[in-house]
């Protein structure tokens, strides 16, 4: 019976050539850290998985965890967010490397932003050309010379990591503007504990639900010094924004106000929100909209989403904005190439996480080399995000390759080329409840207040279509719960962390009472005295005094 | 009103409040058990503690239905023997009809009482109660517990909320309603106190890791209320204070005691000379005074114990003042 199920689950499991599967090894056996998980999945069988999938869709619809997709008829409708029920499992040791590598990278990016708006040391040292920095669309002149409290610019960051066929983790993209997805990390975990509690047996999974606390601490830590408690708000462009669910989620979890531009006002270089009790000072703003829109006086004058004068208040140091204005210069795709150099320059350390090999196309020799191999490479526009305009050589036709080559020749500085990474795979449920390998990436979320803290795991996005490497949810991608194990590979499992066992205090007995209880007890006693046979009362008789 | 009816309404309220709190605590412990908790653990809230809170005996290891060994007897044994699992405790406290502490038993008792109270309840209340009971009885709970206990506890919470909503909406604001409400509130206060006494260390630290205290909040359903009301991170100290003192949160002990006080004041013909009302008034003033004390670390366990003892006295005052007549009749049946 068990063997029959096992055959059904993993027999047809074919990892694509050149890729590494994170849970199943080359011989088709579960990797050691995933052993209990795979065993449980085999025991449950395809029916249980399919049934849990139906429960998941219903619960997500009820809770409003949905996203809009355009149907074939053009009508937009809500779909439950596609959470795959097979988690991705990372051993503690691997996570430690990722965590250290990310913290290092974020420190360097933060130092770079500070440098760009102040001393330009990295430019003077000849590491990054100044012309490249100032030509970035996210370079923000209005904040030149402004240093936010603690010198922290990148309060919230989410870098995209991928894992190639050699098993090494690499950074694919940095994101230090307004990375989204953390709400799915938390909701996925809650959903998994409700839908598939059996899977957690045999694993000690590190929790993620302290993220809102970390974020709130960081936002308070960077607030300008005041006598009273600092007031923190989350600033959303409004319910029409595609990530509004996340904005509301974060505000609710932190217990702070979710504000829109019309709720904020700047008077004498101090930011306030309009409340029923008049204006209330705001100290720290977690904003979820781009620099371009935040202040019509300094950036786009046509922005209706902005607060006039906010940059003035920011410059005056009366309000902290997270992430700081102008951080986008650090996660530009043309700057990405220089991040390993930044780490060496600012921190005097060797990068722990590598870049994906990337070519800047302004140099003629490099450009010709790239153009010759264009059908093997990935070409991305700089200064774009969300997978817009990405060209994937191996998936393109000859004429598409030629068109892309022409675009590169016309404006070489607008493009970068990268080696194609064969994304690692993780077993993923198929429509019939079976398992098949699907490609994944990973976006861990870091919070930088007093220090850098990273929530274990992060958002694993998965391409649900066979063979596809596009993980964006707008293009058929889903997500997975990401487990970081406490498997003894980490140092922080010490006896002190086991649950405290105190002898329970002396509690009074829980009472059961009521008139009927008393009456029944009396009757029963009398009956027992009369007859030795025991009859069960229809409900338990209570203790009386 | 009739003493017998008042007593039954009072206990109906208690049974339902107990069912709801048991469901919330089971859900909270279950979630913490599965999802883990961050950092160092200063809070003891797991399956064995749950048994102590509810006042139920531990089942023998492995045997779900078997006769229970005493928790205190188990306490002397090595850790492994005491590690009662999810399977034993969750099913004992949820669906075991032999245990009078289980959710199904609480609901069955409440419904049985409701049958005898149909003249004082609205039809809608009775129907909500009856559907609640029938829904639990007709469902394969043991299968549901394995595949996803969340749905079971969600259902219980929702049904309880429906009942209390109908009380609010359809029941005459008379003496009966006051006794029903008083029962619900005294039980709610008692349950939260029991949980705090078992789970919170005798002298909670002000700072600490917040993971475990989240479990306390989830076990009462007060996470978001806490986030909005308190600015401190949810570590043990502030959370314990919140659950004991914060009168703006309806699930706190102080809030339950205040509602209990006003319910009894309404029900009593002479509240100014009524022992339970007077005692509750003093308890409320005490709570308010302690809330203002700068530091709760010193002797927090003693505070909890005192409040619970006071509530026990209130309970027996209520019994003496309102239900003594009925109790006397029960003896002669």
For A35, other C-beta atoms within 10 Å of its C-beta total 15
Q: How many CA atoms lie within 13 A of A376 on its CB side?
A: 8
The encoded tokens of residue A495 equal 């006896």
Q: Which ipTM was obtained for this model?
A: 0.76
B158 touching A, CB under 8 A? no
| B100 contacts A540? CB cut-off 8 A | yes
Confidence of residue B64 (pLDDT cuts 50, 70, 90): very low
Query: pLDDT tens-digit profile of B282-298?
Result: 999 999 988 887 766 66
DSSP character string of A336-348: HTTHHHHIIIII-
Could you tell me the maximum CA-CA distance found in chain A, to the nearest angstrom? 107
| B112 contacts A500? CB cut-off 8 A | no
| B147 contacts A52? CB cut-off 8 A | yes
- CB contacts under 8 A, A 158-217 vs B, are 189-190, 193-195, 197-198, 200, 204-207, 209-210, 212-213, 216-217
CB A167 within 8 A of CB A350: no
| A84, β-bridge pairs | A480
CA distance A490 to A88: 18
For A411, other C-beta atoms within 10 Å of its C-beta total 10
Give the dihedral sign, CA A525/A528/A530/A534: positive
A71 touching B, CB under 8 A? no
Q: What is the pLDDT along chain A (545 residues), one digit of tens a residue?
A: 344 444 567 778 888 888 999 999 988 889 999 989 999 998 888 888 888 888 888 888 887 777 766 666 666 677 777 899 999 999 999 999 999 999 999 999 999 999 999 999 999 999 999 999 998 888 998 899 999 888 899 999 999 999 988 889 999 999 998 888 899 999 899 889 888 888 887 788 888 888 998 999 999 999 988 767 899 999 999 888 888 889 999 999 999 999 999 999 999 999 999 999 999 999 999 999 988 888 888 888 887 789 999 999 999 999 999 999 999 999 888 899 999 999 999 999 999 999 999 998 888 888 888 888 888 898 888 876 666 678 888 888 888 888 888 888 888 888 889 998 889 999 998 877 788 999 999 999 999 988 899 999 999 999 988 888 877 766 778 899 999 988 654 434 333 344 455 666 778 888 887 776 666 666 666 666 665 444 444 444 444 43
CA distance A270 to A265: 8
| Range among A59-68, A173-182, B50-59, B124-133 with highest mean pLDDT value | B124-133
DSSP character string of A65-93: -EEEEE-TTS-EEEEE--EEEEEEEE-HH
Examine the pLDDT at B96 and tell me if it is beyond 80: yes
Tokens 């700047």 found at: A266
CA distance B9 to A407: 80
Q: In a 3-state reduction of DSSP, which class is residue A204?
A: coil
Q: For residue A218, give the chain B residue with the closest CA.
A: B233
Q: For residue A522, give the chain B residue with the closest CA.
A: B331
CB A297 within 8 A of CB A284: no
Give the dihedral sign, CA A487/A489/A491/A494: positive
Q: What are phi and psi of B201, to 5 degrees?
A: -65, 155
The encoded tokens of residue B218 equal 């989830």
Q: In a 3-state reduction of DSSP, which class is residue A474?
A: helix
A214 CB-near residues (< 8 Å, 6+ apart): A447, A449, A453, A455
Minimal Cβ distance to B46: which of A197, A499, A519: A499
| B210 contacts A255? CB cut-off 8 A | no
CA distance B333 to B330: 5
Q: For residue A203, give the chain B residue with the closest CA.
A: B34
Cβ burial of A12 (10 Å; 0-12, 13-18, 19+) is exposed
B251 touching A, CB under 8 A? no
pTM metric for this prediction: 0.83
CA distance A437 to A427: 5
Minimal Cβ distance to A193: which of B18, B35, B39: B35
DSSP character string of B140-208: -HHHHHHH-HHHHHHHHHHHHHHHHHHHHHHS-SSHHHHHHHHHHHHHHHHHHHHHHHHHS-SS--SS-
| B36 contacts A204? CB cut-off 8 A | yes
Q: Tell me how long chain A is.
A: 545
Question: 3-state SS of B50-62?
Answer: HHHHHCCCECCCC
Examine the pLDDT at B319 and tell me if it is beyond 60: yes
Cβ burial of A18 (10 Å; 0-12, 13-18, 19+) is exposed
Q: Tell me how long chain B is.
A: 333
| B211 contacts A210? CB cut-off 8 A | yes
Of the candidates B312, B99, B9, B183, the one whose C-alpha atom is nearest the C-alpha of residue A515 is B9
Nearest CA to CA, how far is A145 from chain B (Å)? 33
CA distance A210 to B111: 40
For A384, other C-beta atoms within 10 Å of its C-beta total 14
Per-residue confidence (pLDDT) for residue A542, from 0 to 100: 43
């Amino acid at each position: 019976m068990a063997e029959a199920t096992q055959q059904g689950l993993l027999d047809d499991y074919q990892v694509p050539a050149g890729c590494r599967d994170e849970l199943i090894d080359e011989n088709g056996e579960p990797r050691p850290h995933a052993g209990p998980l795979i065993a449980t999945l085999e025991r449950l069988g395809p029916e249980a998985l399919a049934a849990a999938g139906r429960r998941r869709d219903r619960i997500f619809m009820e809770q409003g965890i949905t996203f809009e997709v355009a149907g074939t008829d053009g009508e937009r409708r809500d779909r439950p967010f596609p959470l795959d029920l097979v988690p991705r499992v990372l051993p503690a040791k691997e996570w430690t490397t990722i965590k250290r590598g990310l913290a290092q990278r974020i420190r360097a990016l933060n130092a770079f932003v500070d440098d760009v708006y102040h001393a330009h040391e990295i430019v003077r040292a000849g590491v990054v050309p100044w012309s490249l920095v100032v030509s970035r669309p996210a370079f923000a002149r209005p904040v030149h010379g402004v240093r936010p409290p603690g010198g922290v610019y990148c309060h919230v960051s989410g870098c995209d990591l991928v894992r190639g066929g050699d098993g090494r983790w690499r950074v694919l993209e940095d994101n230090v503007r307004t990375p989204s997805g953390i709400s799915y990390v938390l909701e996925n975990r809650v959903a998994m504990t409700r839908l598939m509690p059996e899977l957690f047996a045999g694993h000690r999974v590190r929790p993620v639900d302290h993220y809102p606390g970390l974020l709130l601490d960081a936002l308070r830590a960077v607030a300008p010094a005041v006598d009273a408690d600092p007031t923190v708000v989350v600033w959303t462009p409004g319910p029409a924004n595609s990530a509004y669910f996340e904005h509301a989620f974060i505000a609710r979890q932190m217990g702070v106000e979710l504000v829109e531009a019309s709720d904020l006002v700047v008077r004498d270089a101090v930011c306030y929100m309009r409340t029923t009790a008049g204006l209330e000072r705001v100290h720290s703003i977690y904003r979820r909209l781009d620099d371009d829109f935040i202040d019509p006086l300094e950036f786009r004058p046509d922005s209706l989403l902005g607060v006039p004068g906010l940059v003035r208040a920011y410059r005056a140091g009366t309000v902290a904005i997270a992430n700081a204005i102008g951080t986008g210069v650090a996660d530009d795709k043309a700057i990405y190439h220089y991040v390993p150099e930044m780490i060496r320059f600012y921190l005097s350390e060797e990068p722990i996480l590598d870049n994906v090999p990337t070519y800047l196309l302004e140099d003629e020799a490099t450009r010709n080399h790239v153009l010759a191999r264009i059908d093997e490479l990935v070409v991305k526009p700089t200064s774009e995000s969300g997978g817009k305009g990405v060209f994937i050589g191996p998936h393109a036709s000859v004429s598409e390759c030629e068109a892309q080559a022409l675009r590169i020749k016309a404006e070489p500085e607008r493009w970068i080329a990268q080696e194609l990474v064969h994304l690692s795979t993780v077993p993923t449920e198929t429509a019939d409840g079976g398992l098949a390998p699907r490609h994944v990436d990973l976006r861990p979320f870091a919070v930088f207040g007093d220090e850098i803290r990273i929530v274990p795991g992060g958002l694993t996005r998965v391409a649900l279509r066979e063979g596809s490497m596009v993980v964006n949810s707008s293009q058929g991608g889903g997500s997975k719960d990401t487990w970081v194990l406490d498997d003894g590979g980490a140092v922080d499992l010490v006896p002190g962390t086991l649950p405290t066992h105190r002898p329970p205090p002396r509690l009074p007995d829980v009472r059961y009472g009521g008139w009927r209880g008393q009456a029944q007890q009396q009757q029963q006693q009398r009956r027992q005295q009369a007859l030795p046979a025991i009859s069960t009362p229809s409900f338990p008789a209570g203790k009386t005094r | 009103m009739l003493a017998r009816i008042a007593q039954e309404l009072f206990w109906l309220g208690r049974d339902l409040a107990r069912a709801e709190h048991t469901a919330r605590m089971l859900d909270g412990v279950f979630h913490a058990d599965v999802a883990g908790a961050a950092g160092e653990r200063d809070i003891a809230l797991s399956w064995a503690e749950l048994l102590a809170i509810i006042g139920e005996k531990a089942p023998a290891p492995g045997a779900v239905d078997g006769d229970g060994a005493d928790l205190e007897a188990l306490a002397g044994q090595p850790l492994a023997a005491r590690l009662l699992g999810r399977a034993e405790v969750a099913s004992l406290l949820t669906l075991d009809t032999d245990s009078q502490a289980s959710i199904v038993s609480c609901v069955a008792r409440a419904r049985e009482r409701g049958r005898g109270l149909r003249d004082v309840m609205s039809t809608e209340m009775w129907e909500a109660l009856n559907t609640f009971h029938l829904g639990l009885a007709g469902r394969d709970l043991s299968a549901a517990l394995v595949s996803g206990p969340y749905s079971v506890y969600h259902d219980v919470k929702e049904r309880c909320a429906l009942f209390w909503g109908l009380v609010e909406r359809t029941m005459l604001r008379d003496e009966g309603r006051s006794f029903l409400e008083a029962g619900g509130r005294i039980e709610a206060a008692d349950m939260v106190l029991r949980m705090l006494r078992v789970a919170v260390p005798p002298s909670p630290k002000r700072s600490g890791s917040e993971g475990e205290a989240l479990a306390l909040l989830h076990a009462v359903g007060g996470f978001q209320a806490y986030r909005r009301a308190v600015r401190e991170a949810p570590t043990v100290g502030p959370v314990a204070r919140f659950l004991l003192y914060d009168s703006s949160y309806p699930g706190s002990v102080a809030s339950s005691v205040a509602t209990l006080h006003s319910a009894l004041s309404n029900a009593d013909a002479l509240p100014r000379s009524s022992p339970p009302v007077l005692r509750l008034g003093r308890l409320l003033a005490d709570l308010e005074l302690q809330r203002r004390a700068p530091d709760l670390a010193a002797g927090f366990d003693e505070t909890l114990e005192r409040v619970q003892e006071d509530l026990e006295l209130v309970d027996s005052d209520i019994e003496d003042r309102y239900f003594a007549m009925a109790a006397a009749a029960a003896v002669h049946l």
